[in-house]
């Protein structure tokens, strides 16, 4: 039987509170200064000195502004780092995030329509249908989703397709597009359940996609089919490309074989044995494009793969839970010791990484780039992080992440297959186990 809180129980709690000599001192401190300011541990600043034994020169940081495009910024940043090394493009050069954003919105709309058609016979309160309708599309995404866009559409420099009001502040567009997608879901479900032909359903879907294309073009600008590009390199030499297409630009100036870049996760939950691969049902953007696929490794193997790639001079895309035990917005510190809330309140907040995932305390919320690591006796102590929140955060936009914080709140890195062991490459080639749509390893596509 459920028990209510009695007055006697409240009196007991009041006595336990007043019997603590420190209660009123802490009460005055916390009510005046807040929880975080009252528990701030300055020792974390000393531990997070931004000096690293491996430190890549990656130029200026970017700024995703009021949008959830972290995964996109982080991925394009790793590519522009390579362009900086190969072609000496200026430190402030960026690939167009607006270009991939346009095509992501367009492709996600088709992805949503296809899932709505495929689930049309289920009730709207079915968990899968409810999941689809909760957020028909958003700004978030995954590494493999960015690869799917590039493989189909290529990339362009930001000068050829610059930011707009709606790419920098995406809420208005997202709200309107989701309203349209939900309205279209009503129409598509009715067509399917009334026995309409496949041809009629496809024709109606194409009309809907034409409207999405128009909305996106009005909001972000119509993307270029070909463009001219000119720049001066770090040696002040002038370069010009005329009439190049986005796919030609990618092939010539990035040139990565994206099949060689794979996602590694560290998810120590019982449902995900290590050295096996996983995908997430209904997660993606380009229909018939690249599948989201993760190889689950121990944290030791996870970090070693990232270190191997950094040693080779290439930055590393990664996904984490940025808001946990961090002072990310100002100091740019990701450190378990930056705040001591548990000591302040004398409570036990300890959970394992698996428990935090299983009990919804943590999940991937943000993607950034590893650009350095401090190795002491071969072991990492802290990591250099390039964020996409502009130069005012941390050290000109760069952050410091303690190795202990990485252990607890980092969930994904993307590395080249060459930096894995033979056994790991064999494991990555396996067909993936399909996880439920709401699995936390797919959360980056919905959170930022």
pLDDT of residue 226: 98
* DSSP secondary structure code for residue 224 in this structure: P
Q: Looking at residue 447, what is its pLDDT?
A: 59
Tokens for 153, please give them: 């559409």
End-to-end, the C-alpha distance of the chain in Å comes to 41
Q: Are strands 379-386 and 398-402 parallel, antiparallel or unpaired?
A: antiparallel
What pLDDT shows up at residue 47?
Answer: 84
Q: What is the pLDDT of residue 328?
A: 83
C-alpha to C-alpha distance for 130 and 126, rounded to whole angstroms: 6
Burial degree of 359 (CB within 10 A; 0-12, 13-18, 19+):
exposed
225: its two tokens: 């089919």
**Below-50 pLDDT ranges, the chain:** none
CA gap 274, 266 in Å, rounded: 8
Rounded distance between C-alpha atoms, residue 398 and residue 48, angstroms = 12
SS3 220: helix
Residues of the chain with CATH 3.90.70.10: 54-86+94-445
Spatial distance between the Cα atoms of 52 and 375, rounded to a whole number of angstroms: 8
Q: What is the residue whose two structure tokens read 């950034």? A: 368
What is the spatial distance between Cα 340 and Cα 41, in angstroms, rounded to a whole number? 7
C-alpha distances (whole Å) from 328 to each of 39, 109, 215, 381, 394 are 16, 33, 34, 18, 7
For the whole prediction, is pTM greater than 0.85?
A: yes
pLDDT of residue 330: 84
Per-residue confidence (pLDDT) for residue 43, from 0 to 100? 85
**What number of other Cβ atoms are within 10 A of residue 350's Cβ?**
7
CB 258 within 8 A of CB 151: yes
Thinking of the domain 54-86+94-445, which architecture would CATH place it in?
Answer: Alpha-Beta Complex (3.90)
Residues acting as catalytic residues: 70, 366, 387
Helix intervals (H) in 221-337: 246-249, 299-311
pLDDT of residue 1: 75
């Amino acid at each position: 039987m459920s028990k209510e809180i009695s007055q006697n129980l409240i009196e007991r709690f009041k006595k336990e509170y007043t019997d603590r000599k420190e209660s009123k001192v802490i009460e005055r401190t916390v009510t005046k200064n807040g929880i975080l300011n009252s528990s701030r541990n300055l020792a974390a600043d000393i531990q997070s000195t931004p000096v690293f034994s491996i430190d890549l020169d990656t130029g200026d940081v970017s700024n995703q502004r009021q949008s959830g495009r972290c995964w996109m910024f982080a991925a394009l940043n790793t590519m522009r780092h390579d362009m900086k090394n190969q072609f000496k493009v200026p430190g402030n050069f960026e690939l167009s995030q607006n270009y991939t954003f346009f095509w992501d919105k367009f492709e996600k709309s088709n992805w949503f329509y296809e899932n709505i058609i495929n689930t049309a016979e289920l009730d709207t309160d079915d968990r899968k249908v409810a999941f689809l309708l909760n957020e028909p599309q958003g700004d978030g995404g995954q590494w493999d989703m960015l690869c799917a866009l590039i493989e189909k559409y290529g990339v362009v420099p930001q000068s050829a397709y610059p930011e707009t009001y709606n790419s920098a502040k995406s809420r208005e567009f997202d709200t309107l597009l989701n309203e349209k997608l939900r309205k279209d879901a009503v129409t598509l479900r009715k067509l399917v359940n009334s026995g309409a032909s496949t041809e009629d359903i496809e024709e109606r879907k194409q009309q809907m996609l034409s409207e999405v294309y128009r909305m996106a073009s009005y909001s972000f600008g119509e993307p270029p089919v070909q463009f001219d590009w000119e720049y001066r390199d770090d040696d002040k030499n002038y370069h010009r490309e005329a009439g190049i297409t986005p796919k030609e630009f990618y092939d010539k100036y990035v040139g990565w074989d994206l099949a060689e870049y794979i996602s590694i996760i560290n998810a120590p939950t019982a449902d995900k044995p290590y050295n096996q691969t996983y995908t997430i049902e209904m997660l993606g953007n380009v229909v018939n494009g690249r599948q989201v696929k993760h190889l689950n490794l121990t944290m030791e193997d996870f970090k070693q793969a990232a270190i191997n790639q950094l040693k080779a001079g290439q930055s590393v895309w990664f996904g984490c839970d940025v808001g946990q035990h961090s002072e990310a917005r100002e100091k740019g510190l990701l450190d378990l010791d930056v705040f001591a809330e548990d000591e302040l309140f004398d409570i036990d907040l300890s959970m394992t990484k698996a428990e935090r995932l299983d009990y919804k305390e943590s999940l991937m919320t943000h993607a950034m780039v590893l650009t350095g690591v401090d190795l002491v006796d071969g072991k990492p102590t802290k990591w250099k992080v390039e964020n996409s929140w502009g130069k005012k955060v941390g050290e000109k936009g760069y952050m410091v992440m303690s190795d202990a914080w990485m252990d607890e709140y980092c969930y994904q890195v993307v590395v080249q297959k060459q930096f894995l062991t033979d056994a790991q490459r064999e494991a990555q080639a396996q067909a993936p186990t399909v996880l439920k749509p709401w699995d936390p390893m797919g959360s980056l596509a919905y959170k930022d």
